A and B are shown apart, each in its own frame.
Chain A
């Protein structure tokens, strides 16, 4: 049994987000982190590894420096790591991204007992589309918004969150599951032993050459040019004009406000 965990390196949007004048993101000026939902997916995989001794493979598509993130995941407990990286893959939308990642996973092989875990959503692109699209391309059943995963034999039971409750869903391996983060279930830290050995663990680089003949890849549908969706314009929302600051915090101010609201027919 092998669990592939798809992990994306993302800019930390909770800190300062720098936007270039042309509306693109100034990535160079930002910290990168492991996408939070993906950390949660990795933790769920490692819990299953603790219980069953299965193999956990971290997979990312990204520029070469993403290797650093993969080494961290190896130090946390992943058994091996795969970096999918090529200029031709750059600028892919979710359709193209999922095509490339599914081709890579297919290249490595999906066995009867295997699973693929994704995060539900990456905090930069924010689409939550890559997981279900990989599942479709690999023709696997999917369960998204997973909060809990249990596995007995080939049966996997997932607690799948809805806005107003949840579903319990049973699915057989091989399957794909997208995980949501949970404050209660924090990802484990790297261990000292893990850090010492993370450079000895198997590390595979899949470049354009390695994947271009994979049946799942349509060469005219990858990268910036091939992606079905294109960014037509990007922009920063305007700062709404500063309104009226009412002087003082007394009864008179409150009355002024009430009168304005009355005049504007708000009350």
Chain B
């Protein structure tokens, strides 16, 4: 029998699917739980972390520290390594039985494999790769006023509406859409990593968090795929997402690539430490490895300071950095689109300007 997703009053609680790899929770889990805490408060409902894996119960309390009231632990040897079949069965079985109103998943390569499979089985909608979530209509209208070009003076909103409003970029960031799923439950969404802010960890909340075991029913032949091997590519992870300061370089360093990257590194140090990023051109040309890429097909970042050196500011690049708290751009072309979103811009040759910036920053810091 197909699952009845239309009886919407039967559904409550907000769930976050918490992904772990090799027994380690992902940073996205903490971001999602923190964000879902706000939503649960807006809705007046409970927040449940759902943790699948093998011997992972010990991780549960961590999720409590970011706001989960309860963690549902689904432990089974067949859940140690991710397979679509096993994870989809367990998550859907639990959702069919316990009927959550909302399920959030990280939009990782795994979340985006699991989410649609489950949504199809649960007969409900799924919104992809969201960057903003609201339940309370007042908050949503505030968000629209800040983040859209819409004229809202003639728009009437139903202030009692309790649907989850899921906002996401589409058409490569040229358009934002807010999606709702009004007639079916659970309302499901994958959420872009690095966008939601992680709350400070609270030991008190962690202690209070209830850990509950879910009775997993899984047989070997539920799983039609066989994982032959999991290979971690050995490379130093560039932590763009966690960085407070990012100095990114673009094609503009082309006339002396080594020097350009060196200057970017020195500039991060002058800010007190940070990470070097790059536009896609620098990755495609092999100047920086792929994990440095900022933008639509790279990482979405929102550091306190983002410095763009010799980057023109293509829409796909902006999509990954325009929500940075402070943007500084150096470009020799005064019409470069990056200046449209920069808080401070300097027109000039980066090879001349950046050394001056490094010197001035060091002096300013010394004078503090």
Contact = CB atoms under 8 A, between A and B. Distances in A.
Same complex for A and B? Answer yes
A242 interface: yes
Contact of B112 (A128, A233, A234, A242): A128
Contacts of B165: 232
Contacts of B246: none
A167 B149 contact: no
Contact of B109 (A127, A162, A244): A162
B364 interface: yes
A133 B232 contact: no
Give the interface size bracket for A toward B.
35 or more
Interface stretch (B95-103, B210-218, B221-229, B252-260): B221-229
A239 interface: yes
A126 B364 contact: no
Contact of A129 (B115, B183, B224, B326): B115
A47 B149 CA distance: 47
A136 B343 contact: no
B242 interface: no
Contacts of A249: 346-349, 352-353, 356
A250 B109 CA distance: 46
Contacts of A230: 179-182
Contacts of A244: 343-345
B201 interface: no
Interface stretch (B42-50, B64-72, B120-128): B120-128
Interface in A82-98: 93-95, 98
Interface string A116-138: 00000001111111111101110
A25 interface: yes
Contacts of B326: 264, 266
A79 B279 CA distance: 40
A235 B149 contact: yes
Interface string A140-170: 0111110000000000010001111111111
A258 interface: yes
Contacts of B84: 132, 141-144
A231 B328 CA distance: 35
A113 B312 CA distance: 50
B174 A232 contact: no
Contacts of A143: 84, 225
Interface stretch (A11-19, A56-64, A198-206): A11-19
A258 B364 contact: yes
Interface in B173-189: 173-184
A228 interface: yes
A261 interface: yes
A135 B178 CA distance: 27
A27 to B, nearest CB: 10
Measured as residues with beta carbon below 8 angstroms from the partner, the interface class of chain B is 35 or more
B171 A13 contact: yes
Interface string B331-344: 00010000111111
Nearest to B229: A168
A267 interface: yes
A126 B170 contact: yes
Contacts of A171: 224-226
Classify the secondary structure of A's interface with B.
mixed
A236 interface: yes
Contact of B271 (A93, A227, A237, A267): A267
Contact of B228 (A161, A170, A255): A170
A235 B125 contact: no
B131 to A, nearest CB: 10
Nearest to B330: A249
Nearest to A13: B172
Contact of B171 (A93, A95, A124, A266): A124
Given A95-B125, A129-B115, A267 B233 contact: no
A23 interface: yes
Contacts of B361: 254, 258, 261, 267
A240 B344 contact: no
Given A233-B144, A255-B360, A126 B353 contact: no
Nearest to A93: B125
Nearest to A137: B120
B120 A17 contact: no
Contacts of A207: none
Given A129-B116, A239-B341, A229 B148 contact: no
Given A126-B128, A162-B109, A243 B344 contact: yes
B364 A267 contact: yes
Contacts of A130: 116
Nearest to A134: B120
Interface string A1-39: 000000000010110010100010100000000000000
Contact of B226 (A23, A170, A232, A242): A170
10 contacts: A19-B174, A141-B84, A144-B112, A232-B165, A232-B179, A245-B345, A248-B348, A254-B361, A261-B305, A267-B271
Interface of B: 21, 84-85, 88, 108-110, 112-113, 115-117, 119-121, 123-129, 144, 147-150, 165, 168-184, 224-233, 237, 271-272, 304-305, 315, 322, 326-328, 334, 339-349, 352-353, 356-357, 359-361, 363-365, 367-368
Given A129-B126, A233-B148, A243-B345, 5 more contacts: A133-B119, A136-B121, A175-B224, A231-B177, A231-B178
Please provide the 9 A-B residue pairs with the shortest distance between their CB atoms, ordered closest to farther. A249-B348, A228-B125, A229-B125, A127-B128, A141-B224, A136-B120, A254-B356, A129-B116, A258-B364
